[in-house]
C-alpha cells in the first residue's frame, strides 16, 4: 500500500513540474548562460577552455540545482499539503525522500543529461562525454537529496533563497570535488574509478541522512 502513496506523490510532482514549468527552464537557462559567458570572460583559447570545461560544467550544474532548492517544500508547506501528508500512513521520511526523488527526476536528472553535450561549447573532447554523463547522473541524485535538506530547513521562511545557498554550499563541496575528479581523471594518468566510488558513497550517504534531516526540519515547521 505504501507504493500507492509514493507513486501518487511522484506523479503529482511530475505533473506539477510540467504544469508550472518548474525550475527546470530557469536552471537550464542558467547553465546555458555559464557556457556562453565563460568563453567571453576567459577568451576563446580552445586549449584553456578544454582544460577548464569539466569544472565549469560541474559548477553550472551544481549552482543551477541550488537555485531550485528553496522551492522544494515551500508550496506544500504553505498550502497545507504537508499537514495532510504528515497524517498519512506513509512514514514522513519516505515523503521527503519521495519528494527529493521527484526533484531529481524533474530537475537534476534532466540537467545532468543535458549539461555534458552543452560542454561542446567549451571545446570538450567527445570522448569525455560518457564519463561526464556517468558522474553527473550519479552526482545529481546527491545534489537533489542534499538540496532537499536545504529546502526543508528553509521551507517556512519567506526569503529563504540566500540562506539556502549558504546552508547547502558546504554540503556540495565534496560532491563538486569528486564529481570533477571523476570527470577529469582519465585525462591524466589516473583512473576515474576511485572518484566514482567516492561519488557513489556520497550519494548513498545523502540517501540516508537527507530524508531524516528534511523530515525533522519540516516537522519543526508544522508544529
Question: Counting runs of H as helices and runs of E as strands, what totals does the chain give?
Answer: 10, 0
Smaller CB separation from other proteins, 9 or 118: 9
Give the interface segment with other proteins, choosing from 28-36, 113-121, 132-140, 155-163 (CB under 8 A).
155-163
With a CB cutoff of 8 Å and minimum separation 6, the contacts of 115 are 31, 57, 60, 61, 132, 136
Instruction: Mark residues 165-184: x for contact with other proteins by CB under 8 A, - for none.
Output: -xx-xxx-xx--xx--x---
Q: Are 61 and 35 in contact (CB under 8 A)?
A: no
Q: How far is CA 72 from CA 10, 65, 75, 105, in A?
A: 13, 11, 8, 13
Question: Does 80 engage in binding with other proteins (CB under 8 A)?
Answer: yes
| Residue 202 engages other proteins in binding (rule: CB under 8 A) | yes
Residue 117 within binding range of other proteins, rule CB under 8 A:
no
43 is an interface residue for other proteins by CB under 8 A: no
Q: Cα separation of 68 and 168, whole Å?
A: 12
Total of residues contacting other proteins (CB under 8 A) = 54
Among 26, 33, 83, 204, binds other proteins (CB under 8 A): 83
Verify binding: residue 88, other proteins, rule CB under 8 A.
yes
Q: Which stretch binds other proteins (CB under 8 A): 36-44, 65-73, 122-130, 146-154?
A: 146-154
Residues in CB range of 150: below 8 A, 6 or more apart: 66, 69, 70, 164, 165, 167, 168, 171
Nearer to other proteins, 55 or 121 (CB): 55
Q: Do 222 and 216 contact (CB within 8 A), yes or no?
A: no
CB contact at 8 A, 131 and 193? no
Binding site for other proteins (CB under 8 A): 1, 4-5, 7-9, 11-12, 15-16, 19-20, 75, 78-81, 83-90, 149, 153-154, 156-157, 160, 163, 166-167, 169-171, 173-174, 177-178, 181, 198, 202, 205, 209, 213, 216-217, 219-223
Amino acid at each position: 500500500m505504501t507504493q500507492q502513496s509514493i507513486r501518487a506523490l511522484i506523479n503529482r510532482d511530475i505533473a506539477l513540474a510540467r504544469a508550472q514549468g518548474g525550475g527546470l527552464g530557469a536552471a537550464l537557462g542558467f547553465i546555458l548562460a555559464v557556457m556562453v559567458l565563460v568563453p567571453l570572460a576567459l577568451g576563446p583559447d580552445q586549449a584553456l577552455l578544454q582544460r577548464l570545461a569539466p569544472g565549469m560544467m560541474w559548477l553550472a550544474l551544481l549552482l543551477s540545482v541550488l537555485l531550485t532548492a528553496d522551492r522544494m517544500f515551500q508550496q506544500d508547506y504553505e498550502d497545507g499539503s504537508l499537514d495532510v501528508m504528515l497524517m498519512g500512513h506513509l512514514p514522513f521520511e519516505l515523503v521527503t525522500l519521495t519528494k527529493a526523488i521527484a526533484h531529481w527526476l524533474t530537475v537534476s536528472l534532466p540537467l545532468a543529461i543535458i549539461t555534458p553535450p552543452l560542454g561542446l561549447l567549451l571545446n570538450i573532447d567527445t570522448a569525455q562525454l560518457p564519463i561526464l554523463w556517468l558522474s553527473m547522473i550519479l552526482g545529481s541524485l546527491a545534489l537533489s537529496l542534499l538540496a532537499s535538506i536545504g529546502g526543508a530547513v528553509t521551507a517556512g521562511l519567506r526569503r529563504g533563497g540566500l540562506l539556502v545557498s549558504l546552508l547547502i554550499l558546504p554540503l556540495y563541496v565534496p560532491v563538486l570535488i569528486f564529481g570533477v575528479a571523476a570527470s577529469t581523471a582519465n585525462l591524466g594518468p589516473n583512473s576515474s574509478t576511485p572518484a566514482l566510488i567516492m561519488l557513489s558513497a556520497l550519494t548513498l550517504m545523502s540517501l540516508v541522512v537527507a530524508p531524516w534531516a528534511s523530515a525533522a526540519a519540516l516537522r519543526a515547521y508544522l508544529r
